[in-house]
Amino acid sequence: MDDLKKIKGVAKVLEGKLHGIGVYKFKQIAVWTDSACKEFSKLLTFKDRIYRDDWISQAKAFHEEQYDEKL
């Protein structure tokens, strides 16, 4: 399980919501498509937060740093 709170805009409550919908790893966020982002935005009830805070780029960088794997 990764510390998703490292991503700008993800605090403890939002990390808990992500865990509640099965998201535990940076890699899961890093590979989200536009349609996945829209669906997760609805589930998280934070409209456009994923795009506004650029979660995907951050998740890719954290994943690469932690696992030495480029996505």
Confidence check: pLDDT of 62 > 90? yes
- The single-letter code of the amino acid at 70 is K
pTM (whole model) above 0.95: no
- The single-letter code of the amino acid at 45 is T
Q: What total number of domains does the chain contain?
A: 1
- Mean pLDDT calculated for residue range 26-50: 91
The confidence band for 47, taking pLDDT boundaries of 50, 70 and 90, is confident
Alpha-helical regions (H) of 1-71: 12-20, 26-30, 34-44, 49-52, 55-67
The confidence band for 48, taking pLDDT boundaries of 50, 70 and 90, is confident
Domain, as residue range, for 12: 4-67
